Amino acid sequence: QQQVKQSPQSLIVQKGGISIINCAYENTAFDYFPWYQQFPGKGPALLIAIRPDVSEKKEGRFTISFNKSAKQFSLHIMDSQPGDSATYFCAAPPVNRDDKIIFGKGTRLHILP
Amino acid sequence: DAGVIQSPRHEVTEMGQEVTLRCKPISGHDYLFWYRQTMMRGLELLIYFNNNVPIDDSGMPEDRFSAKMPNASFSTLKIQPSEPRDSAVYFCASTRHLATINTIYFGEGSWLTVV
């Protein structure tokens, strides 16, 4: 079964700083590596995803960096804002079509005002 | 589309009582998932269905938990009897294609407290 290791568990960043969350996976045969964002009292929602044929994808202040050889991908939040305070989950696609999708354990991000 | 709809949003029940959580997935989605979220264990997959058929229930913690999907638009997660350690947020989610995981849509969750 796929294992996904996410770090750190929690993160405190000053407003305007860079938040970095990392994710490592074991194996995959499929094509998307996403990050989900969860605000208190809400369900997780897709934030940004990357295909492994590119090394970086940027959407506004959010960037995914992908290192295929190391089987790692990370989320960078530039100019972090208090509104970015949330829990972030990475996920790895299944190895086989009927495998479970595995989420990381989450990173609780708090941006200090 | 209204998204994944869960009910109840909040439930407080006494230990030993039966709890039934309900979910309506997004129309046209073939896969439905039930997750449990706690501080200690994060987001755990309990069970998932493909075209109303349970595919993998290995995440169901014990026999007190059961899930059904009688049709494409409705699923239930039942806990009988409930225990305080079942207190958690239970999420239902759906997706069209399992492999393209950036299309998983979560409901807003059912917050369960067992006292």
pLDDT, one tens digit per residue, over B27-43 is 999 999 999 999 888 89
Contacts A–B by Cβ distance under 8 A = 64
Average pLDDT for chain A: 89
Q: What is the pLDDT of residue A2?
A: 67
What three-state secondary structure class fits B103?
helix
The alpha carbon of residue B78 is apart from the nearest alpha carbon of chain A, in Å, by 20
Tell me the average pLDDT across A73-87: 97
Provide DSSP, chain A: ---EEEE-SEEEEETTS-EEEEEEE---SS--EEEEEE-TTS--EEEEEE-TTSSEEEETTEEEEEETTTTEEEEEESS--GGG-EEEEEEE--SSTTSPPEE---EEEEEE-
**Is A9 a residue whose pLDDT tops 70?**
yes
Contact B55 A98 (CB under 8 A): yes
Q: CA-CA distances (angstroms) from residue A10 to A42, A88, B25?
A: 19, 10, 31
User: Which chain A residues are within 8 Å of B50, Cβ to Cβ?
Assistant: 98
Q: What is the pLDDT of residue A32?
A: 77
The least confident of A45-54, B31-40, B49-58, B60-69 is A45-54
Of residues B92 and A33, the one with the higher pLDDT is B92
Of residues B27 and A26, the one with the higher pLDDT is B27
Tell me the average pLDDT across A22-50: 87
Contact A43 B101 (CB under 8 A): no
Q: What is the pLDDT of residue B1?
A: 64
Q: What is the pLDDT of residue A97?
A: 62
Q: Which of B102, B103, B108 to mutate to test the interface with A (most CBs of A within 10 A)?
A: B102
Q: Over the stretch B78-110, which tens digit does the pLDDT of each residue have?
A: 999 999 999 999 999 999 876 655 578 999 999
